[in-house]
């Protein structure tokens, strides 16, 4: 039996019923043959669409409409109109446009499709099959139609071919036609009866697509907005209460006029859609797209077929569900082809799917281990619970009495079927949870796990990849559990057991060997010594030949080796691998280019953190610094990532098992364990603690008892060593600096008693030599200049006045080409850069180079407003004193880099001079400005503009001399009290300042006082520090 077809999309009928009939009438006259009778006049209609899988009964309203149509067909024709009526009703004859002809054709097609559907329905209800007589009867309706209509109906479209599956790739159903017939109109009664679908059990309500969803596909944009699959589900279609929320509404707009507002589709979460629901939704979508003849219908058929044809579609359905959602979104945004397997999207969703899948298994493994640890701990201590410590002394004593259970106390588990190697907590919020860690399944469906631990050199024919670390996973689990830190750091034990993932986004698809850098070739002894040490410590396996290693681990990558000097140990070298090579990532990308550094975050103890701790602690406090021995090399790498870090040297290959120097993720991997160690110490009462990579700075303060007498310190270096020993944490005791009021951290020397920070003599000598060598050179390279700039920016932390003395050097570096090929280009230093280096040379030659740490001075409540304009000058207002001041700017002010930003900075300098002239000292004042650039420069202590920077230097010097801190706040121009005075308008309710102001001689040519509106102004050189 032939099914109803629609070879052209049904258009939205925005014309009135009378116009539609007129078009049909004109069509009949044009063809001079009887046309298909026009449909009865109906109300104005919106876009047509298909009600998918509707219930199979005929609504009473439709039956009534059919009876009316039959009665009208039996009625005598109306009498012909008179000429007067014709002239009054009909418009003059005119030629029809192409758009009108298309409307005529669409009307005919719609009517023919309707008649055919009616015929099929009648035959099905009568139990008839298609015979030649029936087909002839059906063709009788179209034999007099337009030729283009008959041609269009000659070959039915593929989606109604009875031999083909309605949706390629979807499971076959008993339904001959997935989607129902097209309905026209918005009302329930206007929808046409769909064909009966054999075997379909209908819901209590009609399962149809809401109009708001329909318009997303049939409107002018034709599916340009993402629509959730839930809108096509049986559950959604069977709940009419939800459809009401999508109805269009008439609202009052801001102009108090009625306005039509389209319903907006809320975004529905698809993560809970099951496989049957997913298939059912796509069945409905596919039928709907074919029914409206959507141009992309076959592309989405292929998309579904592609997904369902994957061998792991049903096993890894959440992955393909997420892939489907991203492909739909990207197809609407970028126009990607859904018929093609989008590997980059698939890799992205695979990362998330594998992580979530393994997280559940990791949760189970960790909980089993915790239960075993609790049972063992409870049995050992006769079921006695130990209360949490209230002081650090109590905790340390308890740890000495009750040792943390060792590895044998927790039952060893077999290799799990799946595991998240860096996350797995039910409540874990660490950024490590977002790392792209992917394990692979073996032939039996399990997850690949590292080989047994061993420290022997492995030249056997087995896979040499293994996990090695001195840290004790079981001890970390028990310690974190006892301190309540396991939910936050549950990734640490699993990472120590199975290795941490480097974060590379793919596996090597070919063996890539890069030639080692010249620095390594020029230092062969250093490289040989390093390789032998790593082999001895079991962190390397090898040597292997190329063919042997390829046979054992498959394809791998060997990034070039390099040698750099250790800044902390002159004459020593550090061997690194350049994982950023090749720089352009062509033709094969570098290892680092595949690692997202944002996924490897950790805590940092910055300069400001130490400053605040010192200001908070009493001057009797002490600090000690501890260094982790070979920090990175203590962290194991997951065996799946070890092929990315193979070492190549003189024709031999070595497999690295630990986190290397040079990988983007190395610092984050160690930093994650360092964070856990830091929090363990804090939880045990050892605090404050800050860290920078592998350097830990631990403070302690004497305590006071109830009588007020001073008690000994709570912990010593030995307590910290004992705590680390239980975890296998490798402090390098040779680098430990015992507790003292003097300590070195971040390259600075800190004095708790004197509350000061300074640059150590060794650093001063090193930086001074850099400055002098740079000054002596007639031309310098970018690398040398950037090295000097970095050193001086570091020094500026201890010397706040130097923050504005690096701008000239920074601007000079911006004149270089930063292309790798131009790295040896030299340039003559600029005059501003020379001035900055000369200033720093003087500072570094001083006997002491640093600053005194002071808490912010108290707020005085002083608030001033300042502003500048290019049309007149500068205005300053002090509302609390009801005073103002106005200065004009000369015509040549705005030249040679002096812009409005410079004028706004001069306004701040004048305001500070006014505050000082009124005797303000040792106070914090608030300034209000409407220039965001000046606000940012003042807060940073430097500006990119040379002229602004010169003014800023004078401001900083005046602040230091009088111990005044400026808190600068933004104020909009219309609320800035100084806006009028800056344009020469004196506020009538205020008086001029009644004090004298002293400004720098550099402003004498530009700043002009105004009689009666400006305080007495003098110009003298500013005092230098």
Beta bridge partner(s), residue 303? none
Residue 95 — pLDDT band, cuts 50, 70, 90?
low
The answer, yes or no, to whether residue 405 has pLDDT greater than 50, is no
- Side-by-side strand order, sheet with 850-852: 742-745, 748-751, 756-758, 850-852
The rounded distance, in Å, linking the Cα atoms of 813 and 806 is 11
Residue 376 — pLDDT band, cuts 50, 70, 90?
low
Greatest Cα pair distance, the chain, in angstroms, is: 120
pLDDT tens per residue, range 226-279: 788 888 887 777 666 665 555 556 666 666 666 666 656 677 888 889 988 898
**DSSP for residue 352:** H
Mean pLDDT lowest among 249-253, 512-516, 965-969: 249-253
Q: What's the pLDDT at 390?
A: 36
Euclidean distance between the first and final Cα of the chain, in Å?
Answer: 100
Mean pLDDT lowest among 99-108, 491-500, 612-621: 99-108
Cβ neighbours of 744 (radius 10 Å) = 16
- Residue 679, CB-side half-sphere exposure with 13 Å CA sphere: 22
Please compute the mean of the pLDDT values over residues 279-306 and round it to a whole number.
85
Residue 29 — pLDDT band, cuts 50, 70, 90?
very low
Mean pLDDT lowest among 200-204, 408-412, 748-752: 408-412
3-state secondary structure 617-650: CCCCCEEEEEEECCCHHHCEECHHHHHHHCEEEC
Mean pLDDT lowest among 585-599, 824-838, 883-897: 585-599
The rounded distance, in Å, linking the Cα atoms of 265 and 327 is 19
pLDDT tens per residue, range 753-777: 999 999 999 999 999 999 999 999 9
Q: Identify which of 745, 799, 763, 756 has the alpha carbon closest to the alpha carbon of residue 941.
A: 799
The answer, yes or no, to whether residue 118 has pLDDT greater than 80, is no
The answer, yes or no, to whether residue 656 has pLDDT greater than 70, is yes
Top pLDDT among 898 and 461 is at 898
Q: What's the pLDDT at 917?
A: 92
> Which strand (E) or helix (H) includes residue 300?
helix 297-308
Kindly report the pTM of this predicted structure.
0.56
Q: What's the pLDDT at 451?
A: 36
Residue 691 CB burial class (10 angstroms; 0-12, 13-18, ≥19): buried
Q: What's the pLDDT at 156?
A: 40
Mean pLDDT lowest among 127-141, 310-324, 354-368, 931-945: 127-141
Top pLDDT among 253 and 317 is at 317
Residue 973 — pLDDT band, cuts 50, 70, 90?
very high
The structure tokens 């600068």 sit at 968
Q: What's the pLDDT at 316?
A: 87
Q: What's the pLDDT at 902?
A: 94
The rounded distance, in Å, linking the Cα atoms of 498 and 502 is 13
Q: Identify which of 80, 113, 104 has the alpha carbon closest to the alpha carbon of residue 30.
A: 104
Q: What's the pLDDT at 839?
A: 95
Mean pLDDT lowest among 74-78, 267-271, 284-288, 987-991: 74-78
Beta bridge partner(s), residue 538? none
Token code pair at residue 986: 């004196």
The answer, yes or no, to whether residue 368 has pLDDT greater than 90, is no
Q: What's the pLDDT at 370?
A: 65
The rounded distance, in Å, linking the Cα atoms of 758 and 798 is 6
Token code pair at residue 665: 């993720």
Please compute the mean of the pLDDT values over residues 365-388 and round it to a whole number.
56
Question: What is the average pLDDT value for the chain, to the nearest integer?
Answer: 75
The answer, yes or no, to whether residue 302 has pLDDT greater than 60, is yes
Mean pLDDT lowest among 193-202, 530-539, 731-740, 977-986: 193-202
Q: Is the peptide bond before 688 cis (omega within 30 degrees of 0)?
A: yes
- Residue 118, C-beta contacts closer than 8 angstroms, at least 6 positions apart: none
The rounded distance, in Å, linking the Cα atoms of 495 and 641 is 13
DSSP result, 89-101: HPPPP-PPPHHHH
Q: What's the pLDDT at 240?
A: 60
Q: Identify which of 159, 299, 172, 304 has the alpha carbon closest to the alpha carbon of residue 232.
A: 304
Please compute the mean of the pLDDT values over residues 454-463 and round it to a whole number.
51
The rounded distance, in Å, linking the Cα atoms of 963 and 875 is 25
Residue 167 — pLDDT band, cuts 50, 70, 90?
very low
Q: What's the pLDDT at 198?
A: 66
């Amino acid at each position: 039996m032939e099914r109803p077809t629609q070879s052209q999309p049904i258009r939205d009928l925005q014309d009135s019923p009378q116009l539609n009939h007129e078009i049909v009438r004109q069509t009949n006259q044009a063809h001079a043959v009887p046309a298909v009778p026009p449909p009865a006049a109906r109300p104005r209609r919106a876009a047509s669409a298909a009600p998918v899988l509707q219930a199979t009964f005929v609504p009473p309203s439709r039956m009534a409409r059919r009876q009316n149509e039959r009665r009208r067909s039996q009625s005598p024709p109306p009498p012909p109109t008179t000429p007067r009526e014709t002239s009054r009703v009909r418009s003059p004859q005119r030629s029809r446009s192409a758009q009108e002809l298309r409307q005529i054709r669409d009307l005919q097609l719609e009517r023919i499709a309707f008649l055919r559907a009616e015929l099929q329905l009648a035959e099905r209800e009568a139990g008839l099959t298609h015979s030649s007589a029936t087909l002839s009867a059906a063709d009788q309706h179209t034999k007099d139609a337009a030729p283009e209509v008959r041609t269009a109906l000659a070959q039915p479209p593929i989606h109604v071919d009875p031999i083909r599956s309605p949706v390629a790739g979807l499971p076959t159903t008993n339904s001959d036609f997935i989607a129902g017939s097209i309905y026209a109109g918005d009302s329930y009664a206007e929808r046409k009866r769909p064909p009966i679908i054999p075997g379909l059990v209908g819901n209590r309500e009609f399962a149809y697509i809401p109009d708001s969803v329909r318009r997303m596909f049939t409107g002018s944009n034709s599916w340009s907005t993402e629509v959730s699959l839930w809108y096509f589900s049986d559950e959604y279609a069977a709940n009419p209460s939800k459809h009401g929320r999508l109805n269009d509404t008439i609202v009052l707009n801001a102009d108090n006029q009625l306005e039509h507002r389209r319903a907006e589709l809320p975004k529905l979460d698809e993560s809970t859609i099951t496989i049957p629901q997913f298939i059912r939704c796509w069945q409905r979508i596919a039928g709907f797209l074919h029914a409206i003849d959507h141009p992309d219908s076959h592309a989405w058929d292929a998309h579904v077929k592609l997904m369902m044809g994957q061998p792991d579609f049903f096993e890894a359905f959440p992955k393909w569900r997420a892939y489907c959602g991203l492909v739909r979104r990207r197809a609407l945004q970028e126009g990607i082809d859904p018929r093609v397997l989008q590997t980059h999207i698939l890799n992205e969703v695979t990362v998330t799917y594998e992580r979530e899948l393994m997280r559940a298994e990791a949760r189970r493994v960790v909980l089993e281990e915790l239960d075993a640890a609790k049972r063992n701990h409870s049995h050992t201590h006769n079921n006695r619970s130990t209360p949490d410590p209230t002081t650090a002394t109590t905790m340390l004593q308890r740890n000495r009495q009750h040792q943390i259970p060792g590895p044998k106390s927790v039952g060893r588990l077999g290799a799990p079927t799946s595991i998240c190697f860096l996350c797995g907590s039910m409540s874990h919020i660490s950024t490590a949870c977002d790392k792209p860690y992917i394990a692979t399944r073996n032939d039996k469906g399990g997850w690949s796990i590292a080989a047994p631990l061993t420290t022997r050199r492995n030249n056997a024919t087995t896979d040499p990849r293994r996990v090695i670390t001195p840290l004790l996973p079981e001890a970390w689990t028990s310690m974190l559990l006892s301190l309540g830190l396991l939910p936050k750091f549950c990734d640490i034990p699993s990472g120590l057991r199975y290795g941490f993932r480097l974060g590379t986004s793919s596996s090597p698809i070919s063996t890539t060997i890069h030639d080692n850098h010249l620095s390594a070739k020029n230092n062969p002894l250093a490289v040989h010594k390093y390789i032998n040490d790593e082999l001895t410590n079991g962190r390397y396996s090898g040597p292997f030949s190329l063919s042997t290693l390829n046979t054992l681990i498959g394809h791998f990558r060997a990034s070039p080796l390099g040698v750099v000097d250790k800044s902390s140990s002159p004459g020593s070298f550090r061997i690194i691998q350049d994982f950023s090579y090749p720089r352009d990532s062509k033709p094969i990308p570098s290892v680092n280019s595949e690692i997202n550094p944002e996924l490897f975050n950790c805590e940092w103890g910055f300069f400001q953190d130490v400053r605040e701790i010192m200001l908070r602690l009493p001057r009797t406090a002490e600090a000690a610094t501890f260094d982790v021995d070979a920090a990175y090399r203590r962290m194991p790498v997951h065996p799946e990532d070890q092929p990315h870090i193979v070492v190549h040297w003189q024709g031999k290959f070595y497999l690295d098992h630990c986190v290397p120097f040079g990988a983007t993720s190395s610092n984050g991997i160690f930093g994650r364990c360092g964070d856990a160690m830091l929090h363990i110490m804090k939880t045990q009462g050892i605090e404050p603690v800050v860290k920078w990579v592998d350097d830990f700075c631990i403070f302690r303060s004497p305590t006071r008892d109830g009588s007020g007498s001073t008690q000994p310190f709570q912990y010593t270096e030995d307590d910290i060593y004992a705590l680390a020993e239980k975890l296998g944490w490798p402090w390098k005791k040779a680098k430990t600096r015992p507790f003292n009021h003097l300590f070195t951290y971040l390259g600075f020397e800190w004095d708790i008693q004197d509350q000061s920070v300074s640059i150590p003599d060794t650093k001063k000598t090193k930086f001074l030599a850099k400055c002098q060598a740079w000054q002596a050179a007639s031309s310098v390279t970018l690398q040398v200049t950037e090295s000097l700039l970095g050193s001086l920016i570091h020094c500026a932390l201890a010397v706040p006045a130097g923050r504005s003395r690096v701008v000239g050097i920074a601007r000079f570096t911006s004149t270089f080409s930063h292309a790798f090929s131009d790295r040896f280009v030299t340039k003559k230093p600029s005059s501003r850069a020379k001035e900055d280096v000369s200033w720093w040379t003087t500072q570094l030659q001083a006997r002491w180079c640093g600053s005194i740490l002071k808490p912010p001075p108290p707020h005085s409540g002083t608030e001033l407003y300042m502003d500048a304009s290019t049309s007149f000058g500068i205005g300053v207002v002090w509302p609390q004193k009801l005073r103002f001041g106005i200065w004009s700017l000369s015509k040549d002010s705005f030249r040679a880099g002096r812009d409005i930003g410079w004028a706004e900075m001069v306004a701040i300098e004048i305001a500070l001079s006014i505050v000082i002239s009124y005797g303000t000292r040792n106070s914090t004042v608030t300034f209000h400005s409407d220039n965001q650039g000046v606000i940012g420069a003042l807060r940073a202590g430097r500006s990119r503009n040379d002229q602004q920077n010169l003014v800023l230097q004078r401001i900083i010097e005046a602040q230091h001399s009088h111990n005044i801190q400026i808190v600068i706040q933004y104020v909009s121009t219309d609320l800035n009290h100084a806006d009028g005075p800056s344009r020469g308008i004196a506020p009538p309710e205020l008086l001029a300042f009644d004090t004298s102001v002293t400004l720098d001689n550099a402003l004498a040519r530009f700043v002009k006082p105004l009689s009666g509106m400006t305080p007495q102004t003098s110009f003298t050189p500013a005092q230098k520090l």
